[in-house]
Structure 1
């Protein structure tokens, strides 16, 4: 797998509080987090659709593949037969009594990954914007 972007920030809020926002599609849709729209229910095994400011004309069909509340969540999506697969990981690690470290990373794999990755935008600024919005709203 090739990681294309990751971001980490310390949030002055307990993991459970941050998790509540991270798994709330309404928060995703109203926050200044680089996301235009999330539709669906953010729960393990569910399908969601994400539209990013990076490419607002295109929606990405994703599956909430793993959930270990309130610490870890994985979304996956891509092409059939594993030709191209994306894996977005969200992690919350406790950092004291009322704080946590949030990390979000995106990794891609598959036979077509080298070709497709050349045409994809840089996710870093979008990931940093997301982490900043999550921090701001969690600490509010």
Structure 2
């Protein structure tokens, strides 16, 4: 099993961050990593997700939502091919920082037979998470000022 975790502090409330995170129709306007996300963000629902990792090829997959705690946590589980070959559990966690804003942690836990051969994939995933985090921060801050 391998993990990728990124963290960013956003000067806004968890509710403001959550509202932007779950407004998936707006992703093409600000999200350089997850360029498409459609489907209902509800437990057990399948999503249609397209990612564009920096320096990598665009990939589409259909994960299943495993956790939704409004304003706090969103999680899905996806697989490339058959389950157990290359699986990823993607998690967004929001933590209130009082007057400081919100801490967003974005992580992925990879498992499956192909994980030992995914070094460059993990590096590109980290770069994609960081780009998405920064895009989210900018979008939330711009919305908070409007």
Same fold (TM over 0.5): yes
CA-to-aligned-CA distance 1:67-121 (integer Å, 9 cap, x gap) = 1111111111114353331111101000013611001011111233224x25636
Distance 1:81 1:59, change over 3 A: closer
Give the aligned CA root-mean-square deviation in angstroms: 1.9
Distance 1:51 1:99, change over 3 A: same
CA distance in 2, matches of 1:13, 1:120: 31
Deviation at 1:65, TM superposition (A): 1.0
CA distance in 2, matches of 1:32, 1:65: 22
Alignment counterpart, residue 88 of structure 2, candidates 86, 89, 102: 86
List aligned pairs for 1:17-96, cutoff 5 A: 17-54=16-53, 55-56=57-58, 58-78=59-79, 79-96=81-98
TM-score (norm 2): 0.83
Deviation at 1:41, TM superposition (A): 2.2
Q: Gapped runs of 5+ residues in structure 2?
A: none
Give the aligned partner of residue 136 of structure 2: 134
TM-score (norm 1): 0.86
User: SS of the residue aligned with 1:93?
Assistant: strand
The structure with the greater share of residues assigned to strand is 1
8 Å Cα contact 1:24/1:42 also seen in 2: no
CA distance in 1, matches of 2:90, 2:6: 12
The structure with the greater share of residues assigned to helix is 2
Give the aligned partner of residue 9 of structure 2: 10
